[in-house]
Structure 1
Amino acid sequence: MRRARVAYGGVIHEAIEWGNQLKLADGRVVGEDEIMWLTPIEPRTVFALGLNYADHAAELSFDAPSDPLVFLKGPNTLIGHQAYTRRPADVTYMHYECELAVIIGETARNVQKEDAYKYVKGYSVANDYAIRDYLENYYRPNLRVKNRDTCTPLGPWLVDVMDIADPMNLRLTTHVNSELVQEGTTADMIFDIPSIIEYLSSFMTLNENDVILTGTPKGSVNTVVGDVVVTEIEGIGRLVNTIIGEEAFTNR
């Protein structure tokens, strides 16, 4: 089942996919053009992996890491489907990153790999923009690279874990203005989902609605104001995002 959170009539609703429409928890059926998409869950801690695809590491002239490279993201980075991402006026290189998002379903501590999927609620699509102008070290991205407001679209759906037979064999693509610019597969992750959950839960507690962004394959290129970026993962969904400039946030 595909689940969503939407705003309709000034109220936040849980919803499910209903053909080409959405069915709200109160039974009403509404069109996609009638609602505002929110992130499919209210995220708690958001973990993001760097260099988790060997081809992307090679693209950046780095060796594949021997341990997961993990950083955290603040809540203001996250926006929903069909929302707008702000591109700072002073940057020269801002690129998308199509990523499989893993949503934790229950409290997890000291989880073994073979049990890891028991703690997963479901999956979503994320687009974790990076601003290379601010990058100091690929292994330790600073806050300005990965914690900009509006720079992590997430959604549109939360897909139940039982509906994805093999999350480690899904095709990922990114289109910019309808042109295919990135293509890969989750099979190429260096650290798979069970390994990541085992690693994180070995030293900290994971909670329901924690989110793990699992990295991106090669193919990241610069984007500019006006670009429509579509990140899509097989069986999970199609996430649409538009880049806008600083002037949209300036009061005159």
Structure 2
Amino acid sequence: MKIARLKINDKIYSGFIEEEYLITKEGAIKIENVKWLPPCEPSKIIGLALNFKEHAEELGLSMTEDPIIFLKPNNTLIGHLENIIYPKGAKFVHYEGELAVVIGSKCKYVKENEALNYVLGYTIANDVTARDFITNFFRPPIKAKGFDTFLPLGPFIVTRDEIDDETEFEITTKVNGDVKQKGNTKTFIHSIPKVIAFLSSFMTLYPGDVILMGTPRGISPLKANDLIEITIDKIGTLANRIVEEN
């Protein structure tokens, strides 16, 4: 099932996608002239840093035994096809194509071998970052990752029952049609079950919460009018364009 949230004529609809229609409680709505919204409304968004070995090497940083995590504020959320605003004063803003895990049920103190039972499904994220404001990667990069529009998410959530292998997703990031990132989640340093077990050992996870699982190597600067397309097999493509801040 593909779960989506759309805005049509100032009204928000939630449902699941069948071909060209969103199936809602009100009936079937054709997907045209719509605004794509983030497919869930998380109470929190948790990001992982350095979860691909090659990305850690790219940045010249060492890996750690436990996941390196940060919180991404909700003001960053935008949907598929919305514009990413390039903030004034920044000189090095870049994309980060990532698999996003969406929690399906409340959980705490989850065992690693039971962790996937609490997952609703998967979607695509672009963890946009202004690297100008990262001086120490082991301190929370709140400003670097917290600008408005810095987390495109979507277009929809693909539920677990449609995923044949939850350990292997191919991630491809393109900028203006050129491939910039290619990676596979089978090379994660910290697996999805391990991360859920780790997080739930000290915080309650709620339905709709999002976990950003980290990006592969290949980051590079963006500029106004760039089009970023992130494709993850078994899910789809998330596309957003960069615009300058007014």
**TM-score, with length taken from structure 2:** 0.96
Matched residue, 1:62: 61
Distance 2:44 2:224 in 1: 29
- Secondary structure of the equivalent of 1:99? strand
Which residue identity is paired with 2:217? K
Moved more, 83-92 or 185-194: 83-92
How many residue pairs match? The answer is 246
Equivalent position SS for 1:199: helix
Unaligned runs of 5+ in 1: 248-252
Q: Match for 1:58: what amino acid?
A: E
Q: Distance in 2 between matches of 1:31 and 1:118?
A: 31
Partner of 2:31: 31
The corresponding residue for 1:250 is none
CA contact (8 A) 1:172 1:234 kept: yes
Shift of 1:205: 1.2
The Cα shift of 1:167 comes to: 2.2
Pair 1:244-2:243 in alignment: yes
For 1:71, the aligned partner's letter is: F
- Cα distance between partner residues in 2 of 1:56 and 1:141: 18
Partner of 2:49: 50
1:17 paired with 2:7, answer no
SS of structure 2 residue aligned to 1:121: strand
Aligned to 1:8: 8
Q: What is the CA-CA distance between 1:174 and the residue it aligns to?
A: 0.5
The residue that corresponds to 1:101 in the other structure is 100
CA contact (8 A) 1:174 1:181 kept: yes
Q: Contact 1:48 / 1:212 at 8 angstroms: preserved in 2?
A: yes
2:215 aligned residue: 216
Specify the alignment match of 2:84 in structure 1.
Answer: 85
Q: State the 1:21 CA deviation.
A: 4.2
Structure 2 residue 192 is the aligned partner of structure 1 residue 202: no
**CA deviation string 1:81-135 (max 9, x = no partner):** 0001111132211110011110111111111111001000111100001111111
Alignment of 1:36-185 (within 5 A): 36-185=35-184
Cα distance in 2 for residues equivalent to 1:61 and 1:229: 25
| Cα offsets for 1:208-248 (capped at 9, x unmatched) | 1111001000011111010010011111121010110012x
Between 1:63-72 and 1:12-21, the stretch displaced more is 12-21
Runs of 4+ in 1 over 6 A off after TM superposition: none
| Deviation (angstroms), 1:64 | 1.8
Percent of pairs identical after alignment? Answer: 40
TM-score normalised to structure 1 length? 0.94
Check whether the contact 2:172–2:232 (CA below 8 A) recurs between aligned residues: yes
Kept in 1: contact 2:70–2:141 (CA 8 A):
no
SS, match of residue 28 in structure 1: strand
Q: Tell me how far apart the structure 1 counterparts of residues 210 and 239 of structure 2 sit (CA, whole Å).
A: 19
Question: What are the ranges of 5 or more consecutive residues in structure 2 without an aligned counterpart?
Answer: none
